[in-house]
């Protein structure tokens, strides 16, 4: 009996030792030097009339574009529910799409692209390199992790994401993880966290060093677009002067003559309507915009009038 018990214990120990580490939550897998992480409710966006009209005017219609894209890649964009974006080093991004993907269909379709190069990655059903059209000699990598998850970006960034996901890489530092994990349960149209700024930007605007992070959520109702911006403060004593500064800029701008107002109309409306709520080591900025006004300005900007 003792030998049997010892054998069972040894077997269990070996199995435990060989078990792969649990996968990390998706947002925490973006590269350590990621500056901004954003989550988009793609399903909500596809339902918006202004988006549908833009697709019709610029791309021949949403259904036609989706069919063309599916014919080329095997991916049905209509199944995508959420999208994630990690902005790294100012101009590099990692994109993660959550939807319904048929691995075999994607694989067989992409293999028809002459310039596609299939690559192997441990634990990844299908990965492929595709040349960057605007940068000859550069490549992007697409990795289909399972039936629900597609990762796309520069090969080194995608590889870093995969390593972090499997517990073999660093990913985001803990403070950034704390900002991004709540986005997993977000029901907002857009959720985003500004984690850091480039050093060159901080040198130009040293006051930005007084703030730890920024977070924004955008929620859409039938009547309004509601925005909430959270700004982290390095020192609690910053609350009062920072609040006064924001409110002062808002109030002073409102006193300008119309011919001296030079910022875009949407930004002007936002500045006029913003309210500030100090809260411990952060400021909360609230803004409610008329959906009709926002859509009208977007249509004007996109040339849909």
In a domain, 226, yes or no: yes
Q: What is the spatial distance between Cα 169 and Cα 94, in angstroms, rounded to a whole number?
A: 16
pLDDT band at residue 10 under the 50/70/90 scheme:
very low
Predicted confidence at residue 44, as pLDDT, reads 94
Instruction: Mark whether 36 and 109 lie in a shared domain.
Output: yes
In a domain, 101, yes or no: yes
Instruction: Mark whether 168 and 206 lie in a shared domain.
Output: no
Predicted confidence at residue 22, as pLDDT, reads 57
Cα dihedral across residues 42, 94, 171, 90: positive or negative: negative
Instruction: Mark whether 140 and 237 lie in a shared domain.
Output: no
Instruction: Mark whether 129 and 240 lie in a shared domain.
Output: no
- Asked if pLDDT for residue 91 goes beyond 50, the answer is yes
Instruction: Mark whether 166 and 58 lie in a shared domain.
Output: yes
**What average pLDDT does the structure give for the chain?**
87
Predicted confidence at residue 243, as pLDDT, reads 94
- Asked if pLDDT for residue 17 goes beyond 70, the answer is no
Helices 103-110 & 62-73, crossing angle to 10 degrees?
80
In a domain, 13, yes or no: no
Structure tokens that stand for 161 in this block: 């994401």
pLDDT band at residue 5 under the 50/70/90 scheme:
very low
Residue-wise pLDDT tens digits, 139-190:
899 999 999 999 999 999 999 999 999 888 889 999 999 999 999 999 999 9
Residue 51 lies in domain: 23-172
Q: What is the spatial distance between Cα 225 and Cα 218, in angstroms, rounded to a whole number?
A: 7
Structure tokens that stand for 224 in this block: 């309004």
Instruction: Mark whether 144 and 214 lie in a shared domain.
Output: no
In a domain, 256, yes or no: yes
Report the number of distinct structural domains present in the chain. Answer: 2
Predicted confidence at residue 111, as pLDDT, reads 85
Q: Which has more pLDDT, 16 or 281?
A: 281
3-state percent breakdown (helix, strand, coil) of the chain, nearest 5 = 45, 25, 30
In a domain, 144, yes or no: yes
In a domain, 187, yes or no: no
In a domain, 17, yes or no: no
In a domain, 155, yes or no: yes
- pTM for this entry: 0.86
Instruction: Mark whether 38 and 73 lie in a shared domain.
Output: yes
């Amino acid at each position: 009996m003792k030998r049997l018990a010892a054998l069972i214990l040894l077997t269990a120990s070996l199995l435990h030792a060989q078990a792969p580490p649990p996968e990390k939550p998706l947002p925490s897998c973006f590269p350590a030097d990621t500056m901004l992480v954003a989550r988009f409710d793609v399903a909500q966006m596809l339902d918006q009339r202004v988006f549908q009209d833009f697709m019709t005017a610029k791309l021949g219609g949403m259904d036609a574009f989706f069919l063309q894209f599916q014919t080329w890649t095997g991916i049905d964009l209509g199944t995508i529910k959420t999208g994630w974006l990690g902005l790294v080093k100012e101009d590099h991004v990692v994109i993660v799409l959550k939807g319904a993907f048929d691995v075999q269909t994607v694989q067989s379709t992409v293999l028809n692209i002459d310039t596609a190069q299939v690559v192997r990655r441990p634990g990844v059903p299908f990965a492929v390199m595709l040349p960057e059209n605007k940068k000859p000699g550069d490549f992007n990598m697409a990795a289909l992790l399972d039936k629900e998850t597609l990762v796309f970006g520069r090969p080194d960034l995608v590889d870093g994401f995969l390593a972090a996901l499997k517990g073999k890489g660093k990913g985001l530092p803990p403070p950034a993880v704390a900002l991004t994990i709540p986005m997993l349960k977000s029901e907002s149209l857009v959720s985003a966290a500004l984690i850091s700024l480039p050093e060159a930007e901080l040198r130009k605007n040293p006051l930005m060093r007084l703030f730890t992070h920024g977070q924004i959520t955008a929620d859409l109702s039938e009547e309004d677009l509601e925005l909430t911006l959270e700004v982290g403060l390095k020192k609690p004593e910053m609350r009062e002067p920072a609040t006064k500064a924001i409110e002062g800029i808002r109030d002073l701008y409102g006193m300008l003559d119309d011919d001296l107002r030079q910022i875009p109309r949407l930004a002007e409306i936002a500045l006029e309507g913003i309210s500030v709520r100090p809260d411990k080591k952060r400021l909360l900025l609230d803004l409610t915009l008329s959906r009709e006004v926002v859509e009208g300005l977007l249509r004007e900007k996109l040339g849909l009038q």
